[in-house]
Amino acid sequence: MTNKGMTPPIVDTDIWVYLILSGYYERIIAYYGYLQFSDVVEKEILKWQSNTQEFSNVARVFKNLKDQHDVRVIHFDEFDALSQASINHTLSEYGLKTVDILEKNKGEFTSLLYALHKDIHRFKTNDRKFKEEVEDTLDETFTFVNWIDILDNYSTNFKEKLEIQKQVDTKQLKMKKQNHKHTKQDPRWDKLKQYIKEK
């Protein structure tokens, strides 16, 4: 299964964690050729280096794949001045600071904004509520893909899907016991939905 002619999706931090915990990152990269990330998400992922050996793999694999060009990072300075101003202005409308300042949940916001500005039509995120709220306001060619979609599309059979889901759930529980802070739904999604409608 391969589709290297399609523009690779942009991926948020939560989905990257699932891809590492499951090992499915290899299948997705084999399918698309590479995966794209915003520079803000890259910073969030690299913070995982401070986790235990098992979970620091989230950052270590990312760095290795970036060196091999299987992971590509979209940097804010790649955008022209008008796009940069638009992105930063939009972030400020949601109470976020400029792209260069790391804040909670900024990765999801910048990923979607970068995707809209770069004409990327697939966003891998696990925020189902947000997807349901905004998908009707986006062009029909724009697709949100969550973890369950990935399990459905990349598992070799139903048994493997169940086994991988159980494996990921077990690892997530272990992370919670280690007091890892998980991202929660951000109320600023409503403002982002309004911004998308206006575009």
At residue 55, φ and ψ (nearest 5 deg) are -95, -15
CB-based contacts of 151: which residues, under 8 Å, 6+ apart? 24, 161, 164, 165
| Ramachandran angles phi, psi of 20, nearest 5° | -75, -45
47-78 pLDDT tens trace: 988 877 778 899 999 999 999 999 999 999 99
pLDDT digit string, tens, across residues 33-52? 999 999 999 999 999 888 77
Q: Residue 174 has which token pair?
A: 């272990």
- In the three-class reduction of DSSP (H, G, I as helix; E, B as strand; rest coil), residue 1 is classed as coil
Q: Helix, strand or coil for residue 72?
A: strand
Residue 17 confidence class, pLDDT cut points 50, 70, 90: very high
Judge whether 141 and 121 are in contact, CB under 8 Å. Answer: yes
- Residue 158 is classified by DSSP as H
The answer to whether the beta carbons of residues 185 and 129 sit under 8 Å apart is yes
Tokens read off for 34: 């590479």
Q: What is the pLDDT of residue 180?
A: 45
Write out the two tokens for 97.
């600071």
pLDDT of residue 183: 45
Cα 132 from chain centroid? Answer: 17
- 86-111: pLDDT as tens digits: 999 888 877 777 887 777 767 888 88
Residues 6+ apart with CB under 8 A from 76: 39, 84, 87, 99, 100
Position 4 scores a pLDDT of 60
Q: Which two tokens stand for residue 67?
A: 């060196």
pTM tops 0.85, yes or no: no
- Residue 135 clears pLDDT 50, i.e. is over it: yes
> For the stretch 76-99, what's the b/e string if a residue is b when 16 or more beta carbons lie within 10 angstroms of its beta carbon?
beebeeebbebbbebbeebebeeb
